[in-house]
Amino acid sequence: MTTQAIVIGAGIVGAACAAALAQRGAKVLVLDDGRGGATGAGMGHLVAMDDNPAELALTHYSLGLWQGLRAQLPERCAYRGCGTLWLAADEQEMALAMGKQALLAEQGVASEALGTQRLAQLEPMLRAGLAGALKVPGDAIVYAPAAAAWLLQQAAGVTLRPATVQAVQGRQVTLQGGERLAADIVVLANGFGAKALLPALALRPKKGHLLITDRYPGRVSHQLVELGYAASAHHSEGTSVAFNVQARPTGQLLVGSSRQFDTLETRVEPAVLARMLARAVAYLPALAGLNAIRAWTGFRAATPDGLPMLGEHPEQPGLWLALGHEGLGVTTAPGSAQLLCALMFGNAPLIDARPYAPGRFAEGQAA
Amino acid sequence: MIIYLDQHAVEVPGGITVAAALAYAGSSASRRSCTGQHRAPFCGMGVCQECRMQIDGQRRLACQTLCRPGMQVERSG
Ligand SMILES: Cc1cc2nc3c(=O)[nH]c(=O)nc-3n(C[C@H](O)[C@H](O)[C@H](O)COP(=O)(O)OP(=O)(O)OC[C@H]3O[C@@H](n4cnc5c(N)ncnc54)[C@H](O)[C@@H]3O)c2cc1C
Ligand code: FES
């Protein structure tokens, strides 16, 4: 018998889950009301992150899956294998780069250490005198909203229905207006929107600012990130900024990044944007003379340990969670989807699923 | 006064913006989109960014820039 599945959320994670379910022969109904989420707001950097072994396992696994999709992705998905340069400002950071290289190598992620001169040759727009960089050539970029739409389109047996989900209970879904739906499998993949449906979930919003320039082709060719980025991204409770710049295929420079907890105010905050840009200009002085055309904000759905929740709801059989992808959900969507499907269909996942078990946060830790 | 639009001399009244000068010169197109479509000034108040052009060697908003004698204005790609 055909498995009937409902996926709530058509962002990159919901789309990847729907495609993976369809691959296994399920009939999938995807529900999304078009309010939008992190997928349309983020940067779409596909990056091996090594903050902890589980994060590296999931990002590395997912990068391989993205590479497998690469040949099929239409041009509008703007996939580019540009690689990442992790920038080291001084010798101390260069030592961090070497540590990172060793960690990545343990998981089979190739990287190359670059000295001052080689870095200046590769990215002449960077300020002179940086100590060097770690180049991770397997990293890439993708335009996530287009990739999400494509994942849904190309899968056989997937229907997208515009609808607002008002409640979920196990295998039952209630839509706004009162209509009730049921399926063998319900996947909750609506990003931070899940908090309104299941308030006990350990999810917090982490606001981010981004800014994009006019087109200036050929100035930057890799995704450029300062080595202090991981520290800013994960270990700070206050507002933090880090240098992170992506060269869009159009020649535009997409400038990040900032992190703020516990606000749902969508407005661009000039003070935060100013800090973020000052940081960016410290690395790319000539950026100050370029024109920005837009700035916006988005919200990452963060769990207490920064890892997503992937698995069946501990108290609601039939309800599967694909949530809490924080600042890495575009990268990790395909790996998360495969892992979740393996658990659903009783296959052994290719990476250890335990670090992402939704039940790992004890009651009361939800704040 | 004379300004140069894509290297062609155009006579425009003093005191008008480059966006107005485009209309004056007969085609309000300011630039092309990534897919090659023409774009033109839209909001007229520095918000929509549709009027960005190369003006005297710098990327500027045509609706926020007053014409100056001899100004070089290029429709950017
Ligand atoms: C500023 C910023 C930069 C980022 N940069 C990167 C990056 O470089 N690399 C990376 O990998 N990740 C990045 N991320 C993270 C990444 O964008 C997210 O982790 C990812 O997009 C999450 O996808 P999602 O599908 O889980 O959720 P979302 O994209 O939030 O999708 C949720 C969907 O559910 C729908 N929805 C919500 N509630 C309901 C409801 N009740 N009923 C019906 N529909 C509903 C919404 O309309 C939406 O389409 C960034 C995020 C931000 C904010
Ligand atoms: S016309 Fe909108 S910014 Fe100039």
In the prediction, which pLDDT does A366 show? 43
Closest chain B residue by Cα to residue A290: B59
**In angstroms, what is the span from residue A260 Cα to ligand 1's centroid?**
16
CB atoms A293 and B49 under 8 Å: yes
Ramachandran class of A182: left when φ > 0, alpha when ψ lies in -120 to 50, beta otherwise = beta
Strands (E), B6-77: 8-11, 31-32, 38-39, 52-55, 58-61, 72-74
- In a mutational test of the A interface, the residue from B47, B48, B49 whose CB has the highest number of chain A CBs within 10 Å is B49
Total of domains in chain A: 2
Measured in degrees and rounded to the nearest 5, phi and psi for residue A162 equal -70, 115
Alpha-carbon distance A10 to A18, whole Å? 9
Judge whether A37 lies within some domain: yes
In the prediction, which pLDDT does A365 show? 44
pLDDT in tens, B54-66: 999 999 999 999 9
User: What single DSSP character describes residue A351?
Assistant: S
- Residue A285 shares a structural domain with residue A167: no
Judge whether A18 lies within some domain: yes
- Dihedral, CA atoms, A72, A78, A81, A86, nearest 10 degrees? -150
In the prediction, which pLDDT does A235 show? 59
Domain CATH code at residue A349: 3.50.50.60
In the three-class reduction of DSSP (H, G, I as helix; E, B as strand; rest coil), residue B39 is classed as strand
- Residue A121 shares a structural domain with residue A21: no
In the prediction, which pLDDT does B77 show? 63
- In a mutational test of the A interface, the residue from B39, B49, B59, B63 whose CB has the highest number of chain A CBs within 10 Å is B59
- Residue A255 shares a structural domain with residue A337: no
**In angstroms, what is the span from residue A299 Cα to ligand 1's centroid?**
8
- Residue A288 shares a structural domain with residue A317: no
- Residue A219 shares a structural domain with residue A245: yes
B27 touching A (Cβ < 8 Å):
no
Structure token pair of residue A176? 């706004």
User: Domain boundary at A248, A283, A300, which?
Assistant: A300
The count of CB pairs under 8 A between chains A and B is 14
Q: Residue type at A166?
A: Q
- Residues in chain A within 8 Å Cβ distance of B49: 214, 293-294
H-run or E-run covering B20: helix B18-24
Judge whether A245 lies within some domain: yes
B59 touching A (Cβ < 8 Å):
yes
Alpha-carbon distance A256 to A135, whole Å? 19
ipTM of the assembly? 0.87
Computed on alpha carbons and rounded to an integer, the radius of gyration of chain A in Å comes to 20
Provide the pairing of β-strand A172-175 with A180-182: antiparallel
pLDDT in tens, A160-169: 999 999 999 9
- Residue A209 shares a structural domain with residue A265: yes
**In angstroms, what is the span from residue B3 Cα to ligand 1's centroid?**
48
In the prediction, which pLDDT does B55 show? 96
Judge whether A209 lies within some domain: yes
> Which residues of chain A are modeled with pLDDT < 50?
364-367
- Residue A208 shares a structural domain with residue A327: no
Using an 8 Å Cβ cutoff, are A240 and A110 in contact?
A: no
- Residue A112 shares a structural domain with residue A148: no
Using an 8 Å Cβ cutoff, are A14 and A189 in contact?
A: yes
Computed on alpha carbons and rounded to an integer, the radius of gyration of chain B in Å comes to 11
**What single string gives the DSSP state of each residue in A222-260?**
SEEEETTHHHHHHS-SS-EEEEEEEE-TTSEEEEEEEEE
Q: A205: Cβ below 6 Å to ligand 1? A: no
Q: How far is CA A3 from the centre of its chain?
A: 28
- Residue A198 shares a structural domain with residue A312: yes
- Residue A111 shares a structural domain with residue A151: no
Judge whether A69 lies within some domain: no
Task: Decide yes or no: CATH 3.10.20.30 for domain B2-74.
Answer: yes
Domain CATH code at residue A266: 3.30.9.10
**Residues across chain A:** 367
- Residue A191 shares a structural domain with residue A229: no
- Residues in chain A within 8 Å Cβ distance of B64: none
Alpha-carbon distance B17 to A367, whole Å? 54
Q: Which domain holds residue A214?
A: 80-139+204-300
Alpha-carbon distance A28 to A335, whole Å? 19
**In angstroms, what is the span from residue A12 Cα to ligand 1's centroid?**
7
